Amino acid sequence: MENMSPESLLRKAQALGDDIKEMESIDVLGAYYQAQAKIKTNRRKNMYNQLMRYAAFLTIPLFLSSLVLGYLYFSGTETDEKYAEVVTATGSVIRYELPDHSVVWLNAGSTLRYPTTFKKDNRLVELKGEAYFEVQADKDRPFYVNTPNGLSVYVYGTKFNVAAYEDDNYIETVLEKGKVNVITPNQETIVLAPGEQLLYDKQSQKSKKNKVDVYGKIAWKDGKLIFRNASLEEILKRLERHFNVEIQFNNRSGKEYKYRATFRTETLSQILDYLARSADLKWKIEEPQQQADDTLSKTKIRVDLY
């Protein structure tokens, strides 16, 4: 320093002064705060990214659970639907009230299946055999009767009879009061007026509409057997169901007889004797036989027409 000239010393002093001024111009506290802010921002970003990863991880099973619960809820309304079944033994007639307070009479050897709670837009039952219906009127919920062969009857409120025994050649619908719509298996809709009968032939799939004596068709619910221009074969089939017997009919003569009769309290023997008065008809009762399970077989009756 002693050997330096005054000019050199002045320049050194000026340079040192400039360095001191530059150092004084730096805002140390502000820089500290900025650094802290950056650290906090970075922490927030890292925490947000971590939370998003956790949320995504949790959302996937939650979404899948929602799908499963939704499916079970909406599909359960159909699969959880409960049904009731009413069966009448051969030789009996019962009266039954449905959930909508409609009333049904089931003839011998018949089965009626229906939901314990009807839907909001329809009332649907399934019938095998014969039934007489008194349907409560409800314009917003039609009442459907489905049969095994695909024929359906639907009404809004009326009185009618359906005979759909599986061993019969025909399905019969008879209307007493109101209006009935019959939908055949080939989707033809036929409207019946009171006093009309619709016969649907299962084999030919053809329908025929007639005027009939309605009471003669529905008197079975009152314990009566009414026949109007009925063949011997038809009468014997109805007697089978009414008395819970098995009748073997042999038409050896090939003749056709038509009968008009009303039976109320007569026994089966009395009815067969009546039929034998107008034709060369012989009948014989075969006593029930004990079966392997210790039950008795049905009473068998042999009927021969000569």
pLDDT for 39: 59
Contact at 8 Å (CB) between 235 and 274?
Answer: no
pLDDT the model gives residue 87 = 96
Give the C-alpha distances (Å, rounded to integers) separating 32 from 35, 38, 40.
Answer: 5, 10, 12
CA–CA distance, 157 with 180 (Å, rounded to integer) = 9
Counting Cα atoms < 13 Å in the Cβ hemisphere of 6 gives 0
Low-confidence ranges of the chain (pLDDT < 50): 28, 54-55, 57-59, 61-69, 71-78
Angle between helices 268-277 and 232-243 (to 10 degrees): 170
Residue 262: closest CA among 276, 244, 273, 274:
274
pLDDT of res. 36: 61
pLDDT at 296: 82
**pLDDT for the residue 3:** 57
- Tell me which residue of 123, 98, 95 sits closest to 107, measured CA to CA: 95
Task: Answer whether 0.85 is exceeded by the pTM.
Answer: no
Question: Could you give the count of Cα atoms lying within 13 Å of 23 in the half-sphere of its Cβ?
Answer: 6
Q: What's the pLDDT score for residue 62?
A: 44
Phi, then psi, of 21 in degrees rounded to 5: -60, -40
Two tokens, residue 238:
């109805």
Give dist(CA 167, CA 185) in Å, integer: 18
What is the predicted pLDDT for the residue at 289? 82
* Exposure b/e, 211-249, CB count within 10 A at least 16 = b: ebebebbbbbbeeebbbeebebeebbbbbbbbbbbebeb
Q: What is the pLDDT of residue 8?
A: 63
Report CA dihedral (29, 32, 36, 39) to the nearest 10 degrees: 160
Q: What pLDDT is stored for residue 53 in this prediction?
A: 58
What local confidence, expressed as pLDDT, does residue 275 receive? 94
Nearest C-alpha neighbor of 155 from the set 193, 210, 185: 193
What value does the CA radius of gyration of the chain take, rounded to a whole number of Å? 45
18 SS3 class: helix
Question: 10 Å Cβ neighbour count for 281?
Answer: 19
Contact 130, 107 (CB under 8 A): yes
